Copies of this chain bind each other. A is one copy, B any other.
Amino acid sequence: MARRHDPERRQRIIDAAIGVVADRGIAGLSHRAVAAAADVPLGSTTYHFATLDDLLVAALEQVNAGWLADFGRWADGLDGAAPAADDVLRLVADTLAGDRTRVTLEYELYLAALRHPRLRPLAADCLDEMARVLARRTGDLPTARALVAFSDGLMLQHLLTGRPFEPEALRDGLTAALV
Contacts and interface: CB of A to CB of B under 8 A. Distances in A.
A173 B127 contact: no
- How many copies the complex holds: the figure is 2
Contacts of A146: 150, 154, 170, 173-174, 177
Given A140-B173, A176-B140, A153 B148 contact: yes
A107 interface: yes
A127 B178 contact: no
A65 interface: no
A40 interface: no
Contact of A142 (B108, B114, B166): B166
B143 A176 contact: yes
A6 to B, nearest CB: 31
A68 interface: no
A161 B114 contact: no
Majority secondary structure, A binding face: helix
Band of interface residues on A: 35 or more
B124 A114 contact: no
A150 B148 contact: no
A53 to B, nearest CB: 12
A178 B175 contact: yes
5 contacts: A27-B27, A108-B114, A123-B160, A127-B160, A150-B150
Given A140-B176, A146-B170, A147-B177, 12 more contacts: A83-B177, A108-B115, A111-B156, A114-B156, A114-B159, A142-B170, A143-B176, A146-B174, A149-B153, A149-B157, A150-B150, A152-B157
